[in-house]
Amino acid sequence: MRTTGKVLIWVVVFVGAAGIGAYIAAHSNPFPPIVETSPRRSASGGPSTASQPLWKGTIRSASYHQLYVGGRCTTDWRGTIEVTLRDDGNVEGTGTVRRIGALRCDFPTAQAQVANLDLAVRGSATARRLAVHLVETSSTPSSGADEYGGFLRTVLAPGPGSILILTRSADGAEGLLSMRRADREGRGRYVSRTRVRLRCARPCS
């Protein structure tokens, strides 16, 4: 009798525990609110840029290196740019430019000239303007070539003197900027004249 009584008691305990577990499972949410309401994130781990304004456009530049003696070397460049205007006021994007025609110098030269440049775009935006800086990320040919016309040493040079200021409108932004820098010897100069035009590819409002 004692053994039978103990068995019955344990059966009642197990049945009760199973009933409590089933009740809790039926009334619990396996996905807490913080998981259900988490914002979408980009592959890089930051907030998704899918809803942020995307602007695309063109860049055109004519540049030259005026040597102290010996004449001038000239190049022309064309390309495309796209930028995202982030919610925090920063601008980031990419671009590609290619040289139009050959390097033109007032004297014979056998120097290998860069033909294409891949760019990163960094900057900031306000309600009235964009201030962007273009940075070279790679070039073709990747070795043994240089840019002798002045584009690389004006538009792509570091520092505040190469910031492109674009005036904003309702559906885009554009700007025209002339740049000058002394060459390494300090007696010649690099000169460029660059125009950038951007238009909204996603709503800007």
Q: Are residues 10 and 62 in the same domain?
A: no
- CA 39/CA 142 separation, integer angstroms: 41
Residue 204 confidence (pLDDT): 63
Residue 24, domain extent: 2-36
Q: Are residues 25 and 103 in the same domain?
A: no
Residue 193: inside a domain: yes
Q: What's the total number of domains in the chain?
A: 2
Q: Are residues 27 and 62 in the same domain?
A: no
Residue 6: inside a domain: yes
Q: Are residues 19 and 99 in the same domain?
A: no
Choose among 58, 39, 57: nearest CA to 47: 39
Give the residue, 119 or 111, on which the prediction is more confident.
119
Task: Check whether 115 has a pLDDT greater than 50.
Answer: yes
Q: Which helix (H) or strand (E) holds 101?
A: strand 90-105
Residue 19: inside a domain: yes
Q: Per mean pLDDT, which range of 68-72, 126-130, 161-165, 174-178 is the poorest? A: 68-72
Residue 44: inside a domain: no
Residue 47: inside a domain: no
Residue 108: inside a domain: yes
Highest mean pLDDT among 12-21, 41-50, 89-98: 89-98
Residue 45: inside a domain: no
Whether the bond between 30 and the residue before it is cis, its omega within 30 degrees of 0, is no
DSSP string, 125-184: E-SSEEEEEEEEEEEES-SS-B--SSHHHHTT-SSGGGPEEEEE-SSEEEEEEEEEEE-T
Residue 41: inside a domain: no
**How many C-beta atoms lie closer than 10 Å to residue 205's C-beta?**
6
Q: Are residues 106 and 138 in the same domain?
A: yes
- Map residue 198 onto helix, strand or coil: strand
Q: Are residues 26 and 107 in the same domain?
A: no
Average pLDDT over residues 66-92: 94
Look up residue 107 and give its amino acid. F
